[in-house]
Amino acid sequence: MHGQLADEDTARLIAGKGVWWSLQPFLDDEDATPFPEGSQQRASAVQVYSGTDTAYNLAKKYQIKTAFGTDTLFSAKVAARQGAQLAKLTRWHAPADVLKMATADNGDLLALSGPRSPYSGKLGVVETGALADLLLVAGDPLTDISLIADRKNLRVIMKDGEIYKNTL
């Protein structure tokens, strides 16, 4: 659950306890699961979609530490849209804040998993000795974050220091 149905009291409690909130931009758009009209699943999904704006706005209002979370692990089709999912966050955040959330902030959250983390070393930063996956984008995602939605715009992809794509 990503918390789209949380209310103000819950957001205040989350903030007061210093809990992280892993939101996902569930919207009634091209990425929505196509449940049949009139079905209980569709009714539940619409409720979640309508709570997405509220959830992001509450997270901002209460300055809750927010992670970029997705449910893209189980579908290659959906995983291919992860950049588009990230770009949707500009509905609530500036592009620089979106990129920070998906990199440094998510690294901070993963670091809290301690010995259960699959990574040793610092995450979410670019510095000597840190683990970093780097993307070189054709264009400026700070002015046009939709660039990250199209994989053709990823000119260099480096994971754990190894280059997997280089079209320069």
Residue boundaries of the structural domains of the chain: 8-125
| Residue type for position 34 | P
Which parts of the chain sit beneath pLDDT 70?
1, 72-73
Enumerate the β-bridge partners of residue 157. 135, 165
pTM as predicted: 0.85
Angle at 40 between CA 38 and CA 44, to 5 degrees: 110
Q: Look at domain 8-125 and name its CATH class.
A: alpha beta
Q: For residue range 65-84, list pLDDT tens digits in order.
A: 999 887 766 778 777 888 99
Q: What is the pLDDT of residue 51?
A: 95
